[in-house]
A and B are shown apart, each in its own frame.
Chain A
Amino acid sequence: MNAFLTTAIFDPIRIPLDRWIADFVNWLSFNYRPTFQAMKRPIEVILQGVDGLLQATPPIVFIALLALLAWRVAGPKVGLFTVVAMTLVGMMGLWTQTMTTLSMVLAAVLVCVVIGVPVGILAARSDRFAAGLRPVLDVMQTTPAFVYLVPVVMLFSIGTVAGVIATIIFALPPLVRLTNLGIRGVPDDVVEAAEAFGSSEREILFKVRMPLAMPTIMAGVNQTIMLALSMVVIAAMIGAAGLGVPVVEGLNALRIGVAGIGGVAIVLLAIVLDRITQAIGEGGRRGRS
């Protein structure tokens, strides 16, 4: 067969991208491992703080507080659902793991907000920055988590913190995108009015743009939480604790039941968090319409 019609056409030039990537990650971990280890530190502190607090709270108190919050922001139905869902999780014997997962999600989301909102605001203010940022976000969002799992382990070693870092990479992009979108979507006439009354750039950002973009930003937070929850199992593969552990264990040992309850607990937690954060975002939107 003609060589031009087969994959043989590529033979003369072979790009060794695989080796380049391996070399680059090796070089990075060899030279900068201490830097990356230091970067772990703040996340570790947040994680330990949140996890310590959640684990120390008596389950009955926690359920009561969370249900109260759900009731206030999302109504009695969600409040009731929260009680049922969290009680079920406890009765399945997964309370401790659920609290660990929740603290991982909260830590990841906190870091995402701290990084994502300012980056999103910058992107909204500069078209060039936004254009440069876009492919980076695309890569973060579409690269399969398994691909960067190994580099993360090499740079940050295994464990829950490494799991949170992998989660952050995956969950950050929608928050940046939606913050950008929200800030850009603030009507020009409102901004102009604020300017006409002598507002400084800072005042316009905090008194006008941010509050008006808040429903969109909250939608981003909601997305980030959902993505963070979907990373729980993958994070468990690099040694993170929490609800991913029974799933991974069940998978390895073919214990369908154990994997099953892990999955159910994740879903229940996801629904509770989704309903609450969505209601917060809509609360802001209700005021606008």
Chain B
Amino acid sequence: MIHVDDLTKIFGPNPDAALCMLDDGHGKDAIREATGHVLGVNGASFELERGEFFVIMGLSGSGKSTLLRCLNRLVPFTRGRVLVGPAGEQVDVGTASARELREIRTRRMSMVFQRFGLLPHRSVRDNVAYGLEIQGVARSEREARSEEVLEMVGLGGWGPSRTSELSGGMQQRVGLARAIATDAEVLLMDEPFSALDPLIKMQMQDEMIRLQRQLGRTIVFITHDLDEALRLGDRIAIMDDGTIVQIGSPERIITEPGTAYVADFVEHADPTHVITARTVAVDLDHERVGVARRVGDVTFHSHVAQSDVEIGVDRDGRVVEVVADGARARIEALDRVLEEDAPAFRYRDRAVWVRGDATLRRLLDARTYVNLPVIVQDEDGRLIGLVTERELIHGIVEKRGHGVRSPAASASASAPRPLDVASVEPHAIGRHA
């Protein structure tokens, strides 16, 4: 949907000299000292699929907003290529004429801004309809569409109000509605929730997840907040000094930070919503798991941390029996158990299973109900591994798993994405090492 290749932006009147220095391997500071030009974005490359939620994360001055503005050429870039559109009908943003560029901005990409950018002299409805007005849609039609989209973002009935009567969170809903209304495939979002109160910010993130499920747009989302990035992104790109230092899934960013810079960020992130059961679980071949006994087709395994519990697995790799303290325990789905009130003492006669993509948060819930190791299964009900307190704590504290990912398991965890390996700048690593 979006193809970005070697995108470079240098601010200044005569960027050629700066480009030469860049190609000779000089960094941002050296270029500024020698030429007075500022390196905004340095050779960014990535490829987004339709419907992907892509988050670009970095501190202020890292070039993330510049990179976003290069995508619709609000900031003209110095070198590289940006292609937008479904395969076969892609448009080259860099070489588009003024008319084509307006066409791209009206129909293919829309944008949401940190400071909302609403028109204070217009009603909420007319703000939402702005993009449609530029498209040349008739008044009655754009008003109908406007009401429809306002309903979608939870502002039904607010159409006739002035934007100044709305709170910050509601104003940003208007900004969001304006961007959605044009039916553009691509949504560019420049720190849209950064100006909001923490609670409102969380609400808006939930809203965004819900809307994205409904709309399936291709989203490029800028933030300086790693937790936000982890919550929202299918993939995250981390930027430092104009360079993308790592691109990967949230879980991968957390568990395998590519550079010291990324590791610094991840240090303070909350992993419980990101790391999955599949990552932390120990499989049956792990040294902490041993075979207790065999009965016919069923092999009973036990975890060293809870050696009095035996997990019986058949030849197909399905858990068929759990024995704790010599008695058979019931095996149930976690969701079923969570419907009940938490017990005073954790069950030892019930075992729960979760899917591989359950988060640490869910495993923590499981451990408040059930004392037995949590069974982690794949979609076909085959055992992936076990999680005891030990794995859970390790996952939260170390933000790492046990590397049990079988090729099949990781394939089902995330659809294969092109360009998943980050282009890592040598100086970015060197400085933090």
Contact between A211 and B111, CB atoms less than 8 A apart:
no
Q: A286 to B351, alpha carbons, bound, how many Å? A: 64
Contact between B121 and A195, CB atoms less than 8 A apart:
no
Contact between B104 and A287, CB atoms less than 8 A apart:
no
Instruction: Say whether B215 faces chain A, with CB atoms less than 8 Å apart.
Output: no
A-B contact pairs, 30 of them (CB 8 A): A189-B117, A190-B118, A192-B74, A193-B111, A193-B116, A193-B117, A193-B118, A194-B119, A194-B130, A196-B74, A196-B110, A196-B188, A197-B106, A197-B110, A197-B131, A197-B178, A197-B182, A198-B102, A198-B104, A198-B131, A198-B135, A203-B134, A207-B119, A208-B119, A211-B121, A211-B122, A212-B119, A287-B121, A287-B162, A288-B164
Instruction: Say whether A278 faces chain B, with CB atoms less than 8 Å apart.
Output: no
Q: A212 to B122, alpha carbons, bound, how many Å? A: 10
Instruction: Say whether B72 faces chain A, with CB atoms less than 8 Å apart.
Output: yes
Interface residues of A in 239-286 (CB under 8 A from B): 284
Q: A284 to B110, alpha carbons, bound, how many Å? A: 29
Q: Which residues of A contact B121 (CB under 8 A)?
A: 211-212, 214, 284, 287-288
Contact between B113 and A189, CB atoms less than 8 A apart:
yes
Q: 10 closest A-B pairs (Cβ-Cβ)?
A: A193-B117, A198-B106, A198-B105, A196-B111, A198-B102, A197-B131, A211-B121, A189-B117, A288-B120, A189-B115
Q: Which residues of B contact A195 (CB under 8 A)?
A: 74, 105
* A interface residues, how many (CB within 8 angstroms): 21
Q: Which residues of B contact A141 (CB under 8 A)?
A: none
Contact between B119 and A197, CB atoms less than 8 A apart:
no
Instruction: Say whether B308 faces chain A, with CB atoms less than 8 Å apart.
Output: no
Q: A195 to B105, alpha carbons, bound, how many Å? A: 8
Interface residues of B in 129-160 (CB under 8 A from A): 130-131, 133-135
Measured between C-beta atoms, what is the minimum distance from A201 to chain B in Å?
A: 9
Q: Which residues of A contact B118 (CB under 8 A)?
A: 190, 193
Q: A289 to B118, alpha carbons, bound, how many Å? A: 13
Contact between B164 and A197, CB atoms less than 8 A apart:
no
Q: Which residues of B contact A198 (CB under 8 A)?
A: 101-107, 131, 134-135
Q: Mark A145-159, 1 if CB is under 8 A from B, else 0.
A: 000000000000000
Chain B minimum-CB-distance residue to A201: B98
Q: A127 to B58, alpha carbons, bound, how many Å? A: 35
Instruction: Say whether A200 faces chain B, with CB atoms less than 8 Å apart.
Output: yes
Contact between A197 and B120, CB atoms less than 8 A apart:
no
Q: Which residues of A contact B119 (CB under 8 A)?
A: 190, 194, 207-208, 211-212
Could you say which of B72, B102, B109 contacts A200, with CB atoms under 8 Å apart?
A: B102
Instruction: Say whether A230 faces chain B, with CB atoms less than 8 Å apart.
Output: no
Show the binding face of B for A, using Cβ within 8 Å.
Answer: 72, 74, 101-107, 109-111, 113-122, 130-131, 133-135, 162, 164, 178, 182, 188
Q: A49 to B105, alpha carbons, bound, how many Å? A: 47
Q: A199 to B99, alpha carbons, bound, how many Å? A: 10
Q: A190 to B120, alpha carbons, bound, how many Å? A: 9
Contact between B134 and A192, CB atoms less than 8 A apart:
no
Q: Which residues of A contact B117 (CB under 8 A)?
A: 189-190, 192-194, 196
Q: Which residues of A contact B110 (CB under 8 A)?
A: 196-197
Q: Which residues of B contact A196 (CB under 8 A)?
A: 72, 74, 105, 109-111, 113, 117, 188
Measured between C-beta atoms, what is the minimum distance from B76 to chain A in Å?
A: 12
Measured between C-beta atoms, what is the minimum distance from A216 to chain B in Å?
A: 13
- Say whether, besides A190-B119, A288-B120, A199 and B134 are in contact (CB < 8 Å): yes
Interface residues of A in 178-210 (CB under 8 A from B): 189-190, 192-200, 203, 207-208
Q: A192 to B114, alpha carbons, bound, how many Å? A: 12
Q: Which residues of B contact A189 (CB under 8 A)?
A: 113-117
Chain A minimum-CB-distance residue to B130: A197
Measured between C-beta atoms, what is the minimum distance from A110 to chain B in Å?
A: 24
Measured between C-beta atoms, what is the minimum distance from B172 to chain A in Å?
A: 12
Contact between B134 and A289, CB atoms less than 8 A apart:
no
Q: A289 to B120, alpha carbons, bound, how many Å? A: 8
Measured between C-beta atoms, what is the minimum distance from A273 to chain B in Å?
A: 24
Q: A200 to B135, alpha carbons, bound, how many Å? A: 11
Q: A203 to B115, alpha carbons, bound, how many Å? A: 21
Contact between A287 and B164, CB atoms less than 8 A apart:
yes
Q: A284 to B121, alpha carbons, bound, how many Å? A: 8
Chain B minimum-CB-distance residue to A287: B121
Chain A minimum-CB-distance residue to B120: A288
Q: A194 to B121, alpha carbons, bound, how many Å? A: 14
Q: A155 to B420, alpha carbons, bound, how many Å? A: 78
Q: Which residues of A contact B74 (CB under 8 A)?
A: 192, 195-196
What would 10 more interface pairs be, CB under 8 Å, given A198-B131, A207-B133?
A190-B120, A195-B74, A196-B110, A197-B105, A198-B102, A198-B104, A203-B134, A211-B119, A212-B121, A288-B120
Contact between B134 and A212, CB atoms less than 8 A apart:
no
Of A193, A195, A211, most B-chain CB atoms within 10 Å: A193
Q: A189 to B114, alpha carbons, bound, how many Å? A: 9
Q: A192 to B190, alpha carbons, bound, how many Å? A: 12
Q: Which residues of A contact B134 (CB under 8 A)?
A: 197-199, 203
- Say whether, besides A199-B134, A208-B119, A288-B121, A192 and B113 are in contact (CB < 8 Å): yes
Q: A288 to B117, alpha carbons, bound, how many Å? A: 13
Contact between B164 and A289, CB atoms less than 8 A apart:
yes
Measured between C-beta atoms, what is the minimum distance from B190 to chain A in Å?
A: 9
Chain B minimum-CB-distance residue to A210: B121
Q: Which residues of B contact A197 (CB under 8 A)?
A: 105-106, 110-111, 130-131, 134, 178, 182
Q: A134 to B169, alpha carbons, bound, how many Å? A: 43
Q: Which residues of A contact B182 (CB under 8 A)?
A: 197
Q: Which residues of B contact A212 (CB under 8 A)?
A: 119-121
Of A190, A212, A289, most B-chain CB atoms within 10 Å: A190
Chain B minimum-CB-distance residue to A193: B117
Q: A194 to B135, alpha carbons, bound, how many Å? A: 12
Q: A194 to B111, alpha carbons, bound, how many Å? A: 10
Q: A190 to B175, alpha carbons, bound, how many Å? A: 11
Q: Which residues of B contact A194 (CB under 8 A)?
A: 117, 119, 130
Q: A211 to B120, alpha carbons, bound, how many Å? A: 9
Q: A265 to B135, alpha carbons, bound, how many Å? A: 53
Chain B minimum-CB-distance residue to A191: B117
Q: Which residues of B contact A288 (CB under 8 A)?
A: 120-121, 164
Measured between C-beta atoms, what is the minimum distance from B133 to chain A in Å?
A: 8
Measured between C-beta atoms, what is the minimum distance from A33 to chain B in Å?
A: 46
Contact between A193 and B164, CB atoms less than 8 A apart:
no
Q: Which residues of A contact B188 (CB under 8 A)?
A: 196
Q: A212 to B188, alpha carbons, bound, how many Å? A: 25
